Structures are given as structure tokens and as C-alpha cells.
């Protein structure tokens, strides 16, 4: 009897901790899980959350959106980046940089990436006059954000929940917000095949950029602006930098 009660108590504790998350899909990367777990706690009468939304944006192209929160305070479109280190970037630069020891990384400007998502959403939601979007880029708390941006909200994914709650300016009638949410649910592509295709599409784009970077470097050219790469000596040894420094800060 004692053991039975103990097991019952333990399972109760485990379930009460896990309960809120059981509806959350345990796929996607760590960042997407961290964000969807937090979004789950938004009041459900006003905030409608869709994680991992895949919509058709053209006959042959899809858009995968990490998180969408539809609310009377706007439609929050969240792009999650599980990238740590020192992050540099601006609104307009085509790529952002991560500096971390020798592991530098160049990745697509997430604000522009998210803007293509917002464009795709506004197209499929054209019949809703009040559909207004707020772009949010959610980084790992291990990222040091040294970015200069004004067109999107770039923050640690720990702050997303409170950021959304703080927006209190009603712009979409609740009924319309519900309709928008239901519309997106209908448009969400569920099929495994389509999702696989999208993943391949994304992989191809990344490969294309990476091969552009390696050919440029092999030719002694800066992959970002086409300037010459010049050998320089820094605190941590030799490195190559762009001849257009300080306008272009590319290094490798
Ligand atoms: Zn350059």
C-alpha cells in the first residue's frame, strides 16, 4: 500500500510538471521547443499559438514559420535562432555574423528571413483588414546580441513571453483574431512529404550560400562584398579580413 501511494504521488508530480507540455510537439530544435514551451503559458482565451506552421507561398515554394501567436494585440511572427556567441548584424545586411572563438558563422539575416514569412502570411490573410504583424527574433540566452536593428524585436527567447504580454494596444477584434487563427490552421500543411520537401529546399539554399562562401575564399575574395581578403595579425593570431574594413567586417 505504501509503495502504491508513493508511485501515485510521484506520477502525480511528474504529470503536473509535464502536463502543460504534452500538447507540444517534441520535434524541432532546442530553440523551437524552448519558445513553444513558454508560449503555452499565454492566456488561451486571447492568445492563439501555432508552432511550426508550414504554408504554401507559391505553387512550388513553402514557408516554414517557427511560431505564430494570433491575438487582439497583433500577430506575432517568431523566428527562433539557436545560435550562441557574439551576434553582429543590422536591419539591412544580407547576413549576420556569429563570433565565437574560432567558430565564426555567417547566417541569413533573420529579420529579412522573418519578413519573407510575414509577407507570405499577409498574402494568405489578405481578406482580414486588421491583420497586423510584429516580427520577433528569439535567440538563445547564450547569444550576446550586439545588433543594430529597428525593424524587428530581437531578444533572448526567455523574454518572448513577457514581450508579448506587454503589448496591450488592441488592433484586431477578438473575433477576427479567432478567424485568422482558424484560417492558418486550415492552411497549415501537415503532410510528411511536403515537410520533407521544404527541409530539402532549405538545405539547398544553405548549401548554395556555403559553396558561394568557399569559392569566394578560395579566390581570395570576400564572400559578402567581393573585396579582397587580406592577411592580418590579431590578438589571437593570424586571420583574413576584408579590404573594405571598416565598411565590411568579414573575417575568416
Ligand atoms: Zn567584404
Q: Which helix (H) or strand (E) segment is 162 a member of?
A: helix 160-166
**CA–centroid distance, residue 222 to ligand 1 (Å):** 5
**CA–centroid distance, residue 231 to ligand 1 (Å):** 13
pLDDT band for position 17 (cuts 50, 70, 90): low
Task: Write the pLDDT tens digit of every residue in 87-139.
Answer: 999 999 999 999 998 888 899 999 999 999 999 999 999 999 999 999 999 99
Instruction: Tell me the pairing of strands 153-156 and 229-234.
Output: unpaired
Note whether 160 and 78 are within 8 A (CB).
yes
Residue 19 has pLDDT above 80, yes or no: no
Note whether 79 and 133 are within 8 A (CB).
no
Note whether 21 and 37 are within 8 A (CB).
yes
**CA–centroid distance, residue 207 to ligand 1 (Å):** 20
Report the side by side order of strands in the sheet with 133-139.
Answer: 48-58, 61-71, 74-81, 133-139, 153-156
**CA–centroid distance, residue 230 to ligand 1 (Å):** 10
**CA–centroid distance, residue 119 to ligand 1 (Å):** 29
**CA–centroid distance, residue 94 to ligand 1 (Å):** 12
What is the number of residues in the chain?
252
Any idea which of 58-62, 129-133, 187-191 has the lowest mean pLDDT? 58-62
pTM, two decimal places: 0.73
Identify the three-state secondary structure at position 103.
coil
Amino acid at each position: 500500500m505504501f509503495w502504491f501511494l508513493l508511485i501515485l504521488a510521484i506520477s502525480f508530480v511528474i504529470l503536473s510538471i509535464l502536463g502543460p507540455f504534452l500538447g507540444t510537439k517534441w520535434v524541432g530544435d532546442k530553440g523551437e521547443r524552448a519558445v513553444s514551451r513558454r508560449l503555452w503559458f499565454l492566456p488561451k482565451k486571447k492568445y492563439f499559438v501555432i508552432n511550426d506552421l508550414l504554408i504554401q507561398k507559391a505553387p512550388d515554394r513553402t514557408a516554414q514559420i517557427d511560431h505564430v501567436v494570433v491575438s487582439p494585440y497583433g500577430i506575432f511572427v517568431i523566428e527562433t535562432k539557436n545560435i550562441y556567441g557574439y551576434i553582429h548584424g543590422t536591419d539591412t545586411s544580407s547576413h549576420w555574423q556569429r563570433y565565437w572563438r574560432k567558430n565564426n558563422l555567417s547566417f541569413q539575416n533573420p529579420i529579412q528571413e522573418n519578413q519573407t514569412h510575414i509577407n507570405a502570411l499577409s498574402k494568405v490573410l489578405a481578406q482580414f483588414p486588421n491583420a497586423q504583424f510584429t516580427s520577433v527574433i528569439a535567440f538563445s540566452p547564450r547569444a550576446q546580441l550586439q545588433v543594430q536593428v529597428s525593424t524587428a524585436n530581437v531578444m533572448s527567447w526567455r523574454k518572448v513571453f513577457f514581450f508579448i504580454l506587454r503589448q496591450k494596444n488592441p488592433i484586431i477584434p477578438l473575433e477576427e483574431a479567432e478567424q485568422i487563427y482558424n484560417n492558418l490552421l486550415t492552411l497549415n500543411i501537415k503532410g510528411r512529404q511536403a515537410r520533407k520537401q521544404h527541409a530539402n529546399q532549405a538545405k539547398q539554399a544553405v548549401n548554395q550560400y556555403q559553396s558561394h562562401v568557399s569559392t569566394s575564399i578560395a579566390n581570395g575574395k570576400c564572400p559578402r562584398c567581393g573585396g579582397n581578403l587580406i592577411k592580418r595579425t590579431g590578438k589571437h593570431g593570424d586571420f583574413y579580413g576584408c579590404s573594405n574594413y571598416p565598411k565590411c567586417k568579414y573575417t575568416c
